[in-house]
Structure 1
Amino acid sequence: MSTEISVYESRLIREIKETPQEYLPNLLQIVRLFRESVVLKPAEDSFRQGWKETMAGETRPVSELWDGIDAE
């Protein structure tokens, strides 16, 4: 698997080097947002956030959770 990682790293580095300098701040922001969206927070942090939302009344009935989702 380390071979796969190094292949992707080299491809990413090549893409970064080919990106015009003025777009690098935007690219950095995209990469950070992507990483934050795919990396799971520790369970304790998730629980604390959920508890905070619950105590603040930021809840929805279970019956509404699937509203708008087209599942067959």
Structure 2
Amino acid sequence: MDMKKSYYVQEISREVDVTPEEYLPALLEIVRGFRLGVLKPADESFKQGMQDVVEGNTRPVSELWKGIDA
């Protein structure tokens, strides 16, 4: 596990530790709902990407990097 993720896992764990037990089921539902709302299945993401290509909703990579200091 990388350092950044490890930090967030520790912070989430601390929050769970200080949450009263009777609220843990609700907290679990919130976390699961967040994950399901944010993460799309890979096939869904691929279909959306292909649809964007077919419809011409693309931009050159060089344009995407403009203004980014990497």
**TM-score higher than 0.5 here?**
yes
Displacement over 4 Å in runs of 4+: none
Residue number in structure 2 paired with 1:6: 6
Q: Equivalences for 1:1-72 in 2 at 5 Å?
A: 2-43=2-43
TM-score by length of 2: 0.59
Aligned residues with identical type, % of pairs: 43
CA distance in 1, matches of 2:28, 2:11: 16
Letter of the structure 1 residue corresponding to residue 7 of structure 2: V
- Structure 2 residue runs of 5 or longer lacking an equivalent are 48-70
- Structure 1 residue runs of 5 or longer lacking an equivalent are 48-72
Letter of the structure 2 residue corresponding to residue 43 of structure 1: D
Letter of the structure 2 residue corresponding to residue 25 of structure 1: P
CA distance in 1, matches of 2:37, 2:30: 11
Cα drift, residue 41 of structure 1: 1.7
TM-score by length of 1: 0.57
